[in-house]
Chain A
Amino acid sequence: MADTAELREREQKLQGMGASLLRKEDARFIRGQGTYIDDLKLPGMLFGAIVRSPYAHARITSIDKARALASPGVVAVLTADDLKPVNLHWMPTAGGDVQAVLADKKVCFQYQEVAMVLATDRFAAYDGAALVEVIYDELPAITDPKKALAPGAPVIREDIADKKDVGHGPRTHPNHVFTWEAGNKAAADAAFKGAAVTVREEILNPRVHPCPLETCGCVASFNKATGYLTVYVTSQIPHLFRTVLAMLSGLAESKIRVVGGDIGGGFGNKVPIYPGYVVATVASIVTGVPVKWIESRIDNISTTGFARDYHGVGELAADQDGRIKGLRFTALADHGAFNSHVSASKLPAGLFSICTGSYAIPNAYCRVDAVYTNKAPGGVAYRCSLRVTEAVYLIERMMDVLAQKVGVDKAEIRRRNFVQAEQFPYTTSLGWTLDSGAYHAALAKVLKAVDYEALRREQAAKRADPDCPTLMGIGISTFTEIVGAGPTKVCDILGIGLFDSCDIRVHPTGAVIARLGTMSQGQGHATTYSQIIATELGLPASDIVIEEGDTDKAPYGAGTWGSRSTPVAGAAAATAARKIKDKARKIAAHLLEVGEGDLEWEIDRFKVKGNPSQAKTMKEICLVSHTGNLPPGMEQGLNAVAYYDPPNLTFPFGAYLCVVDIDKFTGETKVRRFYALDDCGTRINPMVIEGQIHGGLTEAFAVAMGQQLPFDENGNHLGNSLMDYFLPTAMETPHWETDHTVTPSPHHPIGAKGVAESPHVGGIPCFSNAVIDAFAHLGVTHMDMPHSSYRVWQKCQELGVNKRPGDV
């Protein structure tokens, strides 16, 4: 019998699930050998620079290309009129709307794409772009979504002014996109009527931008001789991208190849299909040479992939002890000039209805009204599943508001309302079935780790001391996330279900190549997927190669966003591996001349029950599977493909606690401590998980404390470079403490949930709750993000807490 030391050694050799395996991706990145989109240089390649509108709302009177065309190196200037003959001046959006590829007679947001200058290099292209003369006739702009539906408001989308519906039900105003609701309004209203306590708060999730360090870009390369189109692109969704290109261009989808390459961060910014990609593709089809288009940082922040802009109203009804009886959440959603936000077709407000959070709330209703404004189009999920940050922010803020109203501690109000561990799977009043959870235990672990009672005592002492120069705040967030879109019965984009896939080929020597429909942007898929397969197949992760992002090689999948890679493609990997293992078991039984039922699996081999010296290792079976020594009728090879349609989403959760000290006199907030406990079910690679949590918390910190895209009333951007847009440096970023519990998902093959977005989604309300808690004793129940020093100081000023003795 194998002793435990030997078993452990065999297990360690695999570096499977649970091991902090160092990342396979790193080898090229630490040498500067990554291949990002702008690193690509194809022979004869032209560079495209986009001419953009200086106005947020204007008619285009004329476009004069002559000076640009005369500029050295300029090959062509494309405008909407040039795209019309191929019917590509407009494109359909995933949101059911259409979007101008190049502005057609009118611009609807500042920096909108008006023309593309093609030139022999990027210097010539930018010079040419500066020489395209566009005459505009400026129109009044709408930047405040609250004014969009006013009678007589300027009509932003004249092209669809007569349309009664843009994909999601009746429209009530030319600037109205859709109204979506969930839950039982009558039941919720009834709960409010009889309630001992009700609270209401207006809560903004401001317009922000994911701002990955690499901007968006592509190289489109059409071969006129073969009719093949290859597009190298910074896309989180290469397969869907290919399908959309096929629909737009009319080319056979089999003649289009989309290649992801290395991606310098995505965070949702690289999900949509942008006009720049389409123009570059058309340009390549027309010219027959490769065309590169790369965004500048200002273009990136101004035009592609904003997030949020949800103007929410939260209402809770409770008994006098703070036990919640009813929830009503609404949001006015600013979708910008075109509804190009990417969500599952049946979910125009994404997963906003997760807004009951971790709490057992018997009656709930939510509603989202989406409107057009003269701002950039879209609305992406910035390190979250669509609209989950908005939902979780609302409920986690409202829990604090309720606690203050009832006079109950902010940890206690959560405990009183948590779904109990024994209630799982738990179906919420808005219809989601939470798969698993242990909320009380998670919160208790955090409170103990930070000595919560002592922190509250310190806070009370500081509040009692009028000379204390700081305000101390303690924020708690006990969030539940919804990730892993998703079951095809609820989730599709353009009719394509959001399943994912894995194709595993095992070679005779036991080396493996696996290809998946997802697309890593730094998450470490090459490492973690290989660990799943290593454990499932008993073959070492070091010999398992993972490929993604090349649509000619990988099976179809919906890409990487919404923490869906592990919940969906990770499940496909396990499922495909299990198909292989089933075949391997048959081969082992054949070789050992026993029945399959006489075998048991042990780490890397099948052994005969009761006779452990009789065994076949997976490695041996791999070779045999390529010989003729197989059970009768069995084909050679040890390959499998799995398409995984998840039965449900997964619901990771966590308990976070943040302590801040606010300088009363400058408004500066110092994060003294941030303790994050995450439960993402089964943990595949603890090192990678921890890295994802550090990153997500840092992005949450950025959103809560400083990020915002501000506009003036004419729709002009006021801060769209990294001078103003807040990306924290190592100096501003707090130190993170991490912890975990493990509550596996019961419906996932390996029990894993997603994790990358939890720290972002759960972190943002935790920072806000801490900042607002610092003012709670002064009667403050809410302050909108971002909690910049300026805005926090204004609150100090308003409350008069920054007076010094002798000040007047």
Chain B
Amino acid sequence: MIPPSFDYHAPRSLGEAVSLLSSLGDEAKLLAGGHSLLPMMKLRFAQPAHLIDLGAISDLRGIREENGALVIGAMTTEAELLQSALVRNKLPLLAEGASQIADPQVRYRGTIGGDISHGDPGNDHPALMLALDASFVVTGPRGQRTLPANGFFLGLYSTQLAPAEILTQIRIPIPAAGTGWSYQKLKRKTGDFATAASAVLLRMKGTTVAQVAIALTNAAPTALRAAAAERALVGKAINAASLAEAARLAMGICQPAADLRGDGAYKTAMCGEMTRRALEAALARARA
């Protein structure tokens, strides 16, 4: 399996990358970690005439804390997220999610920005971003804009990124101290996409839910925020009845595509089950 020929570009700056992307148009694809794109090219499912490698743009890497948020460069790898004490301490949900992506070698190459920009509902970061209320800084020929994660994912492989726009930064507000978290992912084997997964952030007030975010991976053409399930939980204790209701509401928004991982009924049920387990695990970690 050999990819078709293409021209390779390795811009040194973001500006250079944006202007290359604008001038080359549809013929070009951005190369981040390459672990989705290069296999597709080897299978000749993707045949871009140009690849623009973002690897040499140092501005796109790094993790820093700024005004109560973590600001993460789009080309930061999963391994760098996992090695970052900032991420582990301030955004343990992100670390837990990243630790379940693919395998060690892929995590050294795969980037958070590539994972998000691809618009694949099977990728893990979209749901994590929804649960974390992240926002995305994108840069294009007309400058920079910031888009909330909620609403960014439009459909299968489709996002709000305009042609020639590049995702450059991910900004994630640091949850309040005591917030519980969990990413529960069911997969057939290491390296596989999720059959179903659920990301939860949970803030308790006493024995009742003060605030909760629930987002689902591979449940529909895009990652989903389970808003109705969240609403149903606020103000309630987490118990058998409220878990069952939250799972039911989360399942209600699922429209998974059938494949070898399972049919719609199984995947939907697993979204409910993962949501239930993520809520229980988040509760165990939350401090009121």
On whether the two chains bind one another, the answer is yes
| B227: Cβ under 8 A from any A Cβ | no
Quick one: given A666-B273, A706-B188, A732-B189, are A122 and B2 in contact (CB under 8 Å)?
yes
Q: Which residues of A contact B269 (CB under 8 A)?
A: 793, 797
CB interface residues, A 749-808, toward B, < 8 Å: 788-790, 793-794, 797, 804-807
Contact A724 B260 (CB under 8 A): yes
Q: Which residues of A contact B190 (CB under 8 A)?
A: 729, 731-732
Q: Which residues of A contact B241 (CB under 8 A)?
A: 806
Choose one: B103, B188, B195, B244; the contact of A806 (CB below 8 Å).
Answer: B244
- Shortest A633–chain B CB gap in Å is 65
- Shortest B223–chain A CB gap in Å is 20
- Shortest B3–chain A CB gap in Å is 9
Q: Which residues of B contact A728 (CB under 8 A)?
A: 189
Q: Looking at chain A's contact residues, is the secondary structure mostly helix, strand, loop, or mixed?
A: loop
| A719: Cβ under 8 A from any B Cβ | yes
- Shortest A774–chain B CB gap in Å is 18
Give chain B's interface residue range (CB within 8 Å of chain A): 20 to 34
Q: Which residue of A lies closest to B276 (CB)?
A: A665
Q: Which residues of B contact A213 (CB under 8 A)?
A: none
Q: Which residues of A contact B5 (CB under 8 A)?
A: 127
Distance of A728 Cα from B188 Cα, bound (Å): 10
| A186: Cβ under 8 A from any B Cβ | no
Choose one: A297, A729, A797; the contact of B103 (CB below 8 Å).
Answer: A729
Q: Which residues of B contact A790 (CB under 8 A)?
A: 195, 261-263, 266
Q: Looking at chain B's contact residues, is the secondary structure mostly helix, strand, loop, or mixed?
A: loop
Q: Which residues of B contact A668 (CB under 8 A)?
A: 186
| A190: Cβ under 8 A from any B Cβ | no
Contact A719 B260 (CB under 8 A): yes
- Shortest A706–chain B CB gap in Å is 7
Contact A804 B240 (CB under 8 A): yes
Choose one: A298, A794, A804; the contact of B1 (CB below 8 Å).
Answer: A298
| B192: Cβ under 8 A from any A Cβ | yes
Which of B241, B265, B270 has the most chain A CB atoms closer than 10 A to its own CB?
Answer: B270
CB interface residues, B 233-268, toward A, < 8 Å: 240-241, 244, 260-263, 265-266
- Shortest B194–chain A CB gap in Å is 12
| B88: Cβ under 8 A from any A Cβ | no
Contact B1 A710 (CB under 8 A): no
Q: Which residues of A contact B244 (CB under 8 A)?
A: 804, 806-807
Q: Which residues of A contact B265 (CB under 8 A)?
A: 797
Q: Which residues of A contact B188 (CB under 8 A)?
A: 706, 726, 788-789
- Shortest A606–chain B CB gap in Å is 58
Distance of A77 Cα from B103 Cα, bound (Å): 40
| B25: Cβ under 8 A from any A Cβ | no
CB interface residues, A 712-756, toward B, < 8 Å: 718-719, 723-724, 726, 728-729, 731-732
Distance of A499 Cα from B270 Cα, bound (Å): 55
Distance of A665 Cα from B280 Cα, bound (Å): 15
Distance of A364 Cα from B192 Cα, bound (Å): 45
Q: Which residue of A lies closest to B267 (CB)?
A: A790
Distance of A666 Cα from B196 Cα, bound (Å): 10
| A296: Cβ under 8 A from any B Cβ | yes
Contact A729 B186 (CB under 8 A): no
| A123: Cβ under 8 A from any B Cβ | yes
Closest A-B pairs by Cβ, 10 of them: A126-B2, A790-B262, A729-B190, A731-B190, A296-B1, A665-B273, A719-B260, A806-B244, A123-B2, A724-B260
CB<8 Å pairs between A and B, sample of 18: A127-B2, A127-B4, A297-B1, A666-B270, A723-B192, A726-B189, A729-B191, A731-B190, A732-B189, A732-B190, A789-B186, A789-B195, A790-B262, A793-B266, A794-B266, A804-B240, A805-B240, A806-B244
Known pairs A719-B260, A806-B244. 13 more at Cβ < 8 A?
Answer: A122-B2, A298-B1, A666-B273, A668-B186, A706-B188, A718-B260, A723-B191, A726-B189, A789-B188, A789-B195, A790-B195, A790-B266, A793-B270
On B, residues with C-beta under 8 Å from A are 1-2, 4-5, 43-44, 103, 186, 188-192, 195, 240-241, 244, 260-263, 265-266, 269-270, 273
